[in-house]
Amino acid sequence: MYTPNISTINSTSTNVVLSKANFKVLKFISETHRSTTIFGFGAKAAAVASARAKMFAKAKMQGSQAIINEHVEIKLTVTYALFIVIYNVTVSGTLIEFTE
């Protein structure tokens, strides 16, 4: 019987429509996490979560700051006849601060 390889990443998305530019861009922020596993089960979601947590910790957000335009890039390397799987995950975004 064929079992498909399915992975799920839970994410929360918020859309904000601004009637005027009431924010300023503080900086672009990015963090990377590398995960090496045998057979790779469950590693992708954990690697994304770890990179994202590092990014939020690095941002040190205060008050009315937020990270927008979040982007996840995953580089997958499979070695040794599909036994060892290496995930290089980079999560990046733009740190903004609302002015009003």
Is 9 within a domain? no
Is 10 within a domain? no
For the record, the structure tokens of 15 come out as: 């859309």
Q: Which has more pLDDT, 100 or 72? A: 72
pLDDT for res 99: 86
Q: What percent of the chain clears pLDDT 70, i.e. is strictly above it? A: 76
pLDDT for res 58: 92
Eight-state DSSP code of residue 60? T
The residues that bridge with 96 in the sheet, in sequence order, are 25, 66
pLDDT for res 6: 42
Is 91 within a domain? yes
Predicted confidence (pLDDT) at residue 18 exceeds the cutoff of 70: no
Is 73 within a domain? yes
Is 84 within a domain? yes
Range of the domain at 90: 23-98
pLDDT tens by residue, 33-72:
998 888 767 678 888 999 999 999 999 999 889 898 899 9
Domains held by the chain: number = 1
The residues that bridge with 74 in the sheet, in sequence order, are 89
Task: Give the C-alpha separation, 19 to 66, whole Å.
Answer: 18
Contact between 56 and 31 under an 8 Å Cβ cutoff? The reply is: no
CATH number of the domain that residue 64 is part of: 3.30.1660
The DSSP H or E segment spanning 19 is none
The per-residue pLDDT of the chain, averaged, comes to 80
Contact between 30 and 90 under an 8 Å Cβ cutoff? The reply is: yes
Is 42 within a domain? yes
Cβ neighbourhood burial of 45 (10 Å; 0-12, 13-18, 19+): middle
Is 14 within a domain? no
Predicted confidence (pLDDT) at residue 81 exceeds the cutoff of 80: no
Query: Where do the DSSP E strands lie in the chain?
Result: 23-38, 65-79, 84-98
pLDDT for res 10: 52
pLDDT for res 94: 92
